[in-house]
A and B are shown apart, each in its own frame.
Chain A
Amino acid sequence: MMTRRKKLRIGLIAGGLAVFAVAVGLVLTALQDQVVFFFSPTEVADKGVAPGQRIRVGGLVVDGSVIRGQGRQVAFDITDTANSMTVRYDGILPDLFREGQGIVAEGAFGDDGAFMASTVLAKHDETYMPPEVADALKKQGHWQEGAQ
């Protein structure tokens, strides 16, 4: 009786470990290839990003920089107050997108050096500031807690 119980337990543990090992393998490959890094405009300027690498960028939308309403392409500048960069986007901007707003865009630099966003993250609340953007602004010394 004891041996049957032991066999069962060993079998259960072995099966569990096998599934777990598969999951760990899947997670490691996925994390290696699918994690997207965040860059502030200053980090983009300092470090440089290879064309084609998927990244997220974030900052405040620069006043007067939004060019839209000419076909499907939209272009705007984002800044962390030290540096700024141009983001191009082929789609409909989220409702809460506006000048001066903190936004996060995901996409990649093209070979021509322009950043082409595939998504511009929308928020449900106009006073919301993405944590990365808040951090990037803090680094430049332009952020006061609660002063948004």
Chain B
Amino acid sequence: MIAELGHFALVLALAVALVQATVPLYGAHRGSARLMDMAAPAALTQLLFVAVSFFALMHAFVVSDFSVSNVAENSHSLKPMLYKVTGVWGNHEGSMLLWVLILALFGGMIAMGGRRLPSTLAARTIGIQGLIGVAFLAYILLTSNPFLRLDPAPLDGRDLNPLLQDPGLAFHPPFLYLGYVGLSSVFSFAVAALLEGRVDPAWARWVRPWTLVAWAALTLGIVLGSWWAYYELGWGGWWFWDPVENASFMPWLVATALLHSAIVVEKRDALKIWTILLAILAFSLSLMGTFLVRSGVLTSVHAFATDPTRGVFILGLLVVAIGGALALFAWRAPQMASGAVFQPVSREGALILNNLFLSVACATVLLGTLFPLFAEAFEYKVSVGVPYYNLTFGPLMVPLLLAVPFGPMLAWKRGTLTGAFQRLVAAAVAAVAVTAVAAALSGGTPLLASFGMGLATWLVVGALCDLAERTRAFRAPVGDTWARARGLPGSVWGMALAHGGLGIFLAGVVAVESWKTEELVIMAPGDTVTVAGHTLRFDGVERVRGPNYMSVTGNLAVTDGRFAGKTLTPEKRFYPVQRMPTTEAAIVTGLLGDLYVVMGEVQENGSWSVRIFDNPLAPWLWGGAGLMVLGGCLSLADRRLRVGAPQPRARRKPAEAAA
């Protein structure tokens, strides 16, 4: 009954979305306030219906209603409750429902916050959001209905893929979708602006929080996915340049560029056409990512069994959305006046450099990801792997990262490089020193890695220099600096945190990729082995029974090294319902790196093959990326984003007086 209710709510949501997608757009065109006023209630009603539908599906999972086909195929009565709940989006149908829920959520949030927007812009934005909703709701109802019944209902379900029964992956899809779909709001704003024929600093200011939310969520989603791959798959790696990973990384690159170019629109009324284009491209790449992941056209290590017919529908959607938006762009963009002029060496110039490198780097990733498809058209079967990305993406990032600390130091309109560099001397000195220390510690191999550590230092200390400059630290009395620090806007702290986090992340990347040690050894109980300064003793295996799996757990005691005294218990698990084995890596984490152990196979004489990794600075990857997310959130909390927005006259006066 509740499943039918969910299905029915979804149909109602589609009906409301149709109203939302047509009436406000027509009203904005005709200038009818009454028709435009339909936008906000429609968006909120659609959100309500989609939420009812989503929670109906969740209810079916929680109570293990196996008469619902989706639950029977992806759940099991013995599964822990957390994974019953997260199992809702651990399958194609449910994940698309989550997608639509987040889409409706953004539509609802724009409707709530839309009272401060000009009425036509708000109506058009919500209308476009409704249009996307129509497409995806139709997609779910026509090809991926999660509420199909089974008759007779099976006694128990087929369980969720055990790899997905994990906290990292439980929360990876919601955040990734929050990012992907969050970009839909920016897309809607951009298309609405094209319809209006007007882009101004106020527009950029309204769009910025939406971009920030999407960007921070996307960053977190990608990091959670990468972290999951690192500890759950047992391959010791964190990023494989796999098509499915690239699918999430490309929108991130463009969203990062957008975040920076929108600043130029907001502060200087320039780069408007480019910013609109980026907003369209960011969501287009999100849609393309969904298509690549859901259609299975590319060979991926992360691929799950897929149904190609569903891919065709998304491909059609993709063509209509991108084609329509770009056609509108080609038609309307030339009418937009271009803004203020500036010197190449200026804040604008630095932000353009950022955009240039990010978008070109994104293009190389796109080419590498899609190249196998092009080649297949000519009957070649090829794959593009890690070396391609190391040769293309890597070199493109170096000049960008070198330029990052300069950006905040340059003045708008016209800046000087020498002036900026004088304020970055501390960062340069620290970078050279760290390069020298890294080269001495590693014996200079590989030399590039030492420079990488220097570059990471340049980023971190560069961000600190910026904060010191703004608070006059070390030059003014401490109290004065403290007062200034407290007065700094959230966006400044956010930027410093994000840029510094990028540096810490880079240090993690360089150290793990360059100085990782990996050994495969055969160990009998009692054997010891030393890998990268860690001595481990194998104390045999024991059999353990988990809630819905059996496990062979190895015991390895660390007898010497940084982690002496710790015990590692890597597991080989077997999930009987899915008849699927999985590997659980055992990881001990310290500030300087991870010791990572995976069980291999039992040998004929009863010993085991064991794979041991020493991953230096691995936690810095997650820490650095986490700081970037935090930076995004701090920037979002900036009160200028709210106070600065135009408000009714009566309320603006006291706000000004207070300021």
Contacts and interface: CB of A to CB of B under 8 A. Distances in A.
A29 B604 contact: no
A12 B352 contact: yes
B598 interface: yes
Interface stretch (A44-52, A69-77, A108-116): A69-77
A36 interface: yes
B609 A92 contact: yes
A126 B331 CA distance: 49
Interface string B349-381: 000110011001101100110010001000011
A29 to B, nearest CB: 7
A96 B298 CA distance: 19
Contacts of B367: 27
A39 to B, nearest CB: 8
A38 B381 CA distance: 5
B335 interface: no
B392 A26 contact: yes
Interface in B365-410: 367-368, 371, 375, 380-385, 387-388, 391-392, 395-396
A76 to B, nearest CB: 13
A110 B301 CA distance: 25
Contact of A30 (B163, B302, B392, B581): B392
A20 interface: yes
A31 B371 contact: yes
Contact of B396 (A4, A23, A36): A23
A131 B581 contact: no
Contact of A23 (B297, B301, B392, B609): B392
B95 interface: no
A132 B396 contact: no
Interface residues of A, number: 50
A132 B356 CA distance: 36
Contact of B305 (A8, A16, A127): A127
A36 B341 CA distance: 47
B303 interface: yes
Contacts of B86: none
Nearest to A68: B601
Contacts of A128: 303-305
A107 B140 CA distance: 41
B388 A34 contact: yes
A88 interface: no
Contact of B363 (A23, A121, A135): A23
Contact of B161 (A16, A68, A124): A124
A22 to B, nearest CB: 8
B381 A132 contact: yes
Nearest to B602: A69
B600 interface: yes
B601 A27 contact: no
A140 to B, nearest CB: 15
Interface string B291-314: 000001111011111000000000
A30 B388 contact: yes
Nearest to B270: A8
A130 interface: yes
Contacts of B383: 35-36, 38, 56, 106
A17 B280 CA distance: 22
Interface string A1-22: 1001100100110011001101
Given A30-B388, A124-B304, A132 B601 contact: no
Contacts of A93: 601
Nearest to A126: B580
B301 A26 contact: no
Contact of A26 (B305, B395, B601, B602): B395
Contact of A125 (B298, B305, B381, B603): B305
B384 A95 contact: no
Contact of A91 (B304, B395, B520, B582): B520
B581 A15 contact: no
Contacts of B353: 15
B611 A26 contact: no
A20 to B, nearest CB: 6
A36 B301 CA distance: 16
Interface of B: 161, 163-164, 233-235, 296-299, 301-305, 338, 341-342, 344, 352-353, 356-357, 360-361, 363-364, 367-368, 371, 375, 380-385, 387-388, 391-392, 395-396, 520, 522, 578-583, 598, 600-604, 609, 611
Given A33-B387, A35-B388, A69-B601, 5 more contacts: A15-B352, A72-B520, A92-B600, A121-B299, A126-B578
Interface of A: 1, 4-5, 8, 11-12, 15-16, 19-20, 22-23, 26-27, 29-31, 33-38, 56, 68-72, 90-93, 95-96, 104, 106, 121-132, 135
